[in-house]
């Protein structure tokens, strides 16, 4: 990578964020990099004159983006950065940290190596989904983890049909369906009983949420598959379509949700010591001995 401008994306400013961002800014500007910030940094470094811009402008200008926060902040950032082919790395200030894998404690040493060209560049894909009602696209969005079709009202199931590449798969009564990337297989899909997919697999997984028929099981398909979910005509079947748990749209009976692989991938930058299985061991506590 030929890096001249680095964008920093943050979550809402708190003491931990401010301290981490200040260290990053001082480190990078001392090395003569141009540093820009997204809107959330407004007021973060009050004693310095920093450039603040929209996330879209930041993505366009940056040769590398650094996300300071947790997985939620990272998910939000990736959905913007993928459209601009901007590589991204994460500093973990959240709780779980499957995606943001660099600790604030050693971030400067890690960053030093990355800027020197010693890193792992991992390509991952996102999903794109449309909600179609009466033949018209009424909403659409991207997801890095998952697209979830689920109940909107408490204690009610929805009815829906699933098609893959135009072929009928099944009819389900359930609380919903998770359509997940390999990245998202450690998120909602996992808690719904889905398998772990290695992050580099070219596949998607469909995981039913509390299906009424217990023989309904997760289904892994090729990432080039086109998935269609049709909400049942039963008027009790009001649903929502949620993207990474952060954006949601209503889906009425008869509406169709089309889900496919987004054409623009995202490049995740990891330290050269990055170990996917070590992250699984740490986050899922596989190494814990009772």
pLDDT tens track, the chain, 290 positions: 789 999 999 987 678 888 999 999 999 999 999 999 999 888 888 888 899 999 999 999 999 999 999 899 999 999 999 999 999 999 998 776 789 889 999 999 999 999 999 999 999 999 999 999 999 999 999 999 999 999 877 667 899 999 999 999 999 999 999 999 999 999 999 999 999 999 999 999 999 999 998 888 999 999 999 999 999 987 666 799 999 999 999 999 999 999 999 999 999 999 999 999 998 998 888 866 65
- CA atoms of 273 and 76, how far apart (whole Å): 25
Contact 223, 203 (CB under 8 A): yes
Domains and CATH numbers, the chain: 5-125+265-283 (3.40.50.10330), 127-261 (2.60.200.30)
Closest CA to 157 of 217, 230, 238: 238
CA distances from 233 to 44, 279, 285 (A): 50, 43, 43
- CA atoms of 262 and 126, how far apart (whole Å): 5
Closest CA to 189 of 92, 98, 123, 107: 98
Contact 206, 174 (CB under 8 A): no
DSSP label of 185: G
- CA atoms of 275 and 196, how far apart (whole Å): 16
Q: What share of the chain is helix, strand, coil (3-state, %, to 5)?
A: 20, 40, 40
pTM for this predicted structure: 0.93
Closest CA to 180 of 169, 168, 193, 170: 193
Closest CA to 28 of 58, 59, 64, 1: 64
Please identify which residue in the block is written with the tokens 């820009």: 36
- CA atoms of 123 and 212, how far apart (whole Å): 37
- CA atoms of 236 and 2, how far apart (whole Å): 55
Tell me the catalytic residues: 71
Tokens, residue 52: 């603040």
Closest CA to 102 of 287, 281, 274, 276: 274
CA dihedral for 176, 189, 81, 264, sign (positive or negative): negative
* pLDDT value for 162: 98
Tokens, residue 92: 């973990």
């Amino acid at each position: 990578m030929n890096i001249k401008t680095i964008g920093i994306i943050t979550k809402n400013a708190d003491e931990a964020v401010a301290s981490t961002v200040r260290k990053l800014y001082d480190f990078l500007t001392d090395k003569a990099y141009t540093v820009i910030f997204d809107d959330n940094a407004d007021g973060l470094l009050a004693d310095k004159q920093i450039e603040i811009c929209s996330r879209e402008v930041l993505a366009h200008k940056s040769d590398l983006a650094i996300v300071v926060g947790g997985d939620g902040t990272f998910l939000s950032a990736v959905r913007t950065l993928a459209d601009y082919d901007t590589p991204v790395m994460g500093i973990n200030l959240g709780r779980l940290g499957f995606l943001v894998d660099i600790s604030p404690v050693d971030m400067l040493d890690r960053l030093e190596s990355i800027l020197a060209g010693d890193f792992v560049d991992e390509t991952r894909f996102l999903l794109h989904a449309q909600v179609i009602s009466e033949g018209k696209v009424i909403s659409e969005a991207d997801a890095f983890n998952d697209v979830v079709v689920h109940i909107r009202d408490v204690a009610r199931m929805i009815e829906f049909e699933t098609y893959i590449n135009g072929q009928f798969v099944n009819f389900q009564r359930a609380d919903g369906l998770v359509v997940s990337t390999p990245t998202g297989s450690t998120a909602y899909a996992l808690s719904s009983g889905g398998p772990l997919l290695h992050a580099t697999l070219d596949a998607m997984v469909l995981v039913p949420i509390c299906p009424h028929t217990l023989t309904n099981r997760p289904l892994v398909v090729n990432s080039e598959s086109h998935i269609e979910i049709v909400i049942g005509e039963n008027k009790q079947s009001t649903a929502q379509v949620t993207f990474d748990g952060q954006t949601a749209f209503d889906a009425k009976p008869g509406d169709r949700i089309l889900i496919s692989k987004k054409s623009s991938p995202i490049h995740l930058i990891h330290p050269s010591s990055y170990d996917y299985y070590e992250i699984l061991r740490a986050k899922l506590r596989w190494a814990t001995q009772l």
